[in-house]
Amino acid sequence: MTPSDAEMSDERDGMTPAKSQPNSVPNKKIFPTIIMSSRLLLRVAQPASRTGAVRSGAKRMASGSPGTGPGMGDEWATQAQAALRQAQTYANANPWTRYAAGGVAVLGGMWLVVGGKKGKAVAGEDGHSQHTAKDDARNDVDAKIQKYTKSLANSNEKPSTRNAPGSSSVAKGSAVVSTPAKQEDEDICMRDKMAAFVRKMQAKIVDSLDAIEVQAAKELGITPKLLVRDEWIRAEGGAGLSCVLQNGNVFEKAGVLVSVVHGPASPELIKQMRARKKEGIMEEGNYRMFAAGCSMVLHPHNPNAPTAHLNYRYFELSREGEDKPAAAWFGGGCDLTPSYLYEEDAVQFHQVIKDVCDKHDASYYPKFKKWCDDYFYVPHRKEMRGVGGIFFDDMEHGDHNKIFKWVEECGLSFTDQYMPIIRRRWNAPFSEEMKRWQQLCRGRYVEFNLVYDRGTKFGLVTPGARIESIMCSLPLTARWEYMHEPAEGSREAELVKVLKAPREWVV
């Protein structure tokens, strides 16, 4: 399971407040209200044939049709005059409307008095609109998050790079405040940074997968099949986006899942965290959890093309009523599971992730490569699930911003790890015997995921867990045969030998 999606835009959030136009009318909000109310009151007396027209007019006023924007004082005056003429016409036609017109006049006077006082409360002496402290705080936070997300979307090489080296601007109130880029990055809470990052990573991977499916369809002369986008809401808190393809032209099954969820932590979850010796987690007390992550599994049709898996995540536990996390950590990794061994594929996959690791800490790749070999081990088969990659979990010590930068670059490098491999393997010739072996290998994959995988266990004890997301990692088809052994000296036997004795693919 993955702990997807930050559509947090509001046209006015994070922007400099607009200046109000010259005060040609006492309070522009008064006129639409008076006009709309007058038309609704006049409906009491109007003929049935006029009902539709007046209802339409009221809807136009309520929805803010032309004339509802700033600086439209003249148009409001025109609308008001038209409403008064209409009221006079109705009054002449039906005596009941005189009472309605009188009611409109009384309401209009009240609105003028109350609206004028309210106008003074929300407008400064110079006529400029003023935000409350709560609005300023919200706009400030939203602006930072939107700016960070925008920087991710606009950057191809280094997603965390800001718009200008060394500095950036954040809209706050009516002034633009310049702050150092590093400080701004640290001011954005880790929850928001991870939420933005996993969505960015998902979009990049899905775009690449769709492009491969489209290219394959062109070469085959058939209709392309793209990943289906499935947005979902978690009742306990949070949401996600699952992008899934079944029976595509290249992939038998592909899933790229994002979730950003929060809510009460179950006793079973707390028990798991204590078993993993999480510092700060006590047995007693109520906790809330937050998790953000992207998980991906790709199962190609062609046995020459390897299965690939990726997961990068961030998790927090906080005591009920407290903002500061009692525990927070990162986890994730990526790994490759071939049915037929191509050494150049394994080297490419490992080299790309090693280069990323070395940029941040030279100890990362050897440490997390070994952890991957150990983690993706199937004890009852006495073999690894594949040719590895990296795996890490419980990264809670040290500078979280630096850890995030590394995690971010690892995730965004996946397309360089895997896409060249699938492009050269997806249409390679294969036999029925090779397809049968691929299904047997996928049986091993299923065994590991259902019996040993931490992500599966974590998902199943999370309140409100989405089972479809948890089980999305499983292949569409798999096979088990009694006492099957590959022939000595075969390519299948060569793979098994590697799975029983992990190699060092890069130096």
User: From CA 83, how far away is CA 85, in angstroms rounded?
Assistant: 5
User: From CA 279, how far away is CA 98, in angstroms rounded?
Assistant: 75
* Residue 60 clears pLDDT 90, i.e. is over it: no
pLDDT score of 121 = 40
Q: Which region, left, alpha or beta, applies to residue 67 given φ > 0 means left and ψ of -120 to 50 means alpha? A: left
User: From CA 95, how far away is CA 92, in angstroms rounded?
Assistant: 7
52-70 residues labelled b (16+ CB within 10 A) or e (exposed): eebeebbebbeeeeebbee
pTM metric for this prediction: 0.65
Check residue 487 and report its DSSP letter. Answer: P
pLDDT score of 107 = 52
The answer to whether the CB of 410 falls within 8 A of the CB of 330 is no
- Minimum mean pLDDT among 124-133, 159-168, 385-394, 491-500: which range? 159-168
User: From CA 223, how far away is CA 251, in angstroms rounded?
Assistant: 14
User: From CA 306, how far away is CA 299, in angstroms rounded?
Assistant: 7
pLDDT score of 78 = 46
User: What token pair was written down for 31?
Assistant: 């006129």
pLDDT score of 275 = 55
Three-state secondary structure call for residue 322: coil
β partners of residue 414: none
Question: Mind listing the pLDDT tens digit for each residue in 109-155?
Answer: 454 444 444 443 433 434 343 444 434 443 443 443 344 344 333 43
Catalytic residue among 262, 299, 301, 309: 309
pLDDT score of 85 = 53
Query: Predicted confidence band at 280 (pLDDT cuts at 50, 70, 90)?
Result: low
Q: Using alpha carbons, select from 139, 156, 99, 31 the residue that is nearest to residue 413.
A: 156
Locus of tokens 């109520």: 286
- Minimum mean pLDDT among 220-229, 314-323, 414-423, 470-479: which range? 314-323
| Summary mean pLDDT of the chain | 73
* Residue 288 clears pLDDT 80, i.e. is over it: yes
Three-state secondary structure call for residue 181: helix
Average pLDDT score over residue span 74-103 = 47
Question: Mind listing the pLDDT tens digit for each residue in 173-197?
Answer: 322 233 334 544 555 799 999 999 9
Catalytic status, residue 360: no
Query: Predicted confidence band at 451 (pLDDT cuts at 50, 70, 90)?
Result: very high
The answer to whether the CB of 129 falls within 8 A of the CB of 142 is no
pLDDT score of 289 = 87
Question: Mind listing the pLDDT tens digit for each residue in 105-116?
Answer: 445 545 444 444
Question: Mind listing the pLDDT tens digit for each residue in 9-58?
Answer: 333 233 333 333 333 344 444 444 444 544 444 444 444 333 333 333 43
pLDDT score of 350 = 98
Q: Using alpha carbons, select from 341, 507, 314 the residue that is nearest to residue 411.
A: 314
Between 146 and 246, the more confident residue is 246
